[in-house]
Structure 1
Amino acid sequence: MAASPSIITRDTDKLAAKTGNLYESVAIISRRSRQIASKTKEELNNKLAEFASGIDNLEEVFENREQIEISKFYERQPKPTGIAIEEFMEDKLFWRFSEDEDTK
């Protein structure tokens, strides 16, 4: 079974170099990925809400090509994780570490 061409091997040393710790880098990327996914989901839901009707009959489901095209468009979008990694590696993200209560 061949790997999908969308799978990219990442150099963990380069990820870790940005923060000095791989796990902190992954946490930052993860948080940004969730932000992107949430925004995308909200956009999709807003667009699909236009098609919502109280009556669900089988004919409407099969005839609504515009709704299907909108869904397919969002399925073809880059994954939120990939976008977040690219933003992180291109220094497009800003993050800060909160101070520990013990150091105050």
Structure 2
Amino acid sequence: MDYKNSEAPITTITYDRTKIEEPTHNIYESISIMAKRANQINEDLKKELIDKLEEFATHNDSLEEVFENKEQIEVSRFYEKLPKPTAIAVEEWLNGEIYYRNPDVTDSKK
């Protein structure tokens, strides 16, 4: 998924509790689902960032030589400016983009 085009807020905002708990009718279950999704997003972003930084890495055996690669700094700054994984997860939850299921609840249609 492309997190770079996310419309999630960068700053902290207050959400309506009823909108968050509406799909599950349980605020704790909703928060748990969003937390799991935020962990997934965080892992994806972390892997993507490490892969991009590895492209610019210069491997030296000497610990005294430290090179500041401008490309690495720019990539790092770009990822720092992205919305936090929790904000992206909340935005996806409110837009109905997260699939979830509870295996303990049986479907009445079956």
Q: Which runs of 5+ in 2 are unaligned?
A: 1-9, 106-110
TM-score by length of 1: 0.82
TM-score by length of 2: 0.78
- Say how many residue pairs are matched: 93
Deviation at 1:65, TM superposition (A): 0.7
The letter of the residue matching 2:101 is R
Q: Which has the higher helix share?
A: 1
User: Hey, what's the Cα distance between the residues in 2 that align with 1:86 and 1:54?
Assistant: 39
The letter of the residue matching 1:66 is E
Deviations 1:34-92 (A, max 9, x none): 0001000000000111233331513x12xx11110000000001111111101101111
Q: Which runs of 5+ in 1 are unaligned?
A: none
Instruction: State, as a whole percentage, how many aligned pairs show the same letter.
Output: 42
Higher relative contact order (CA 8 A, sep 6+): 2
* 1:1-104 correspondence runs (5 A): 6-55=11-60, 56=63, 57-58=65-66, 60-61=67-68, 64-99=69-104
Runs of 4+ aligned structure 1 residues displaced above 2 Å come to 51-54
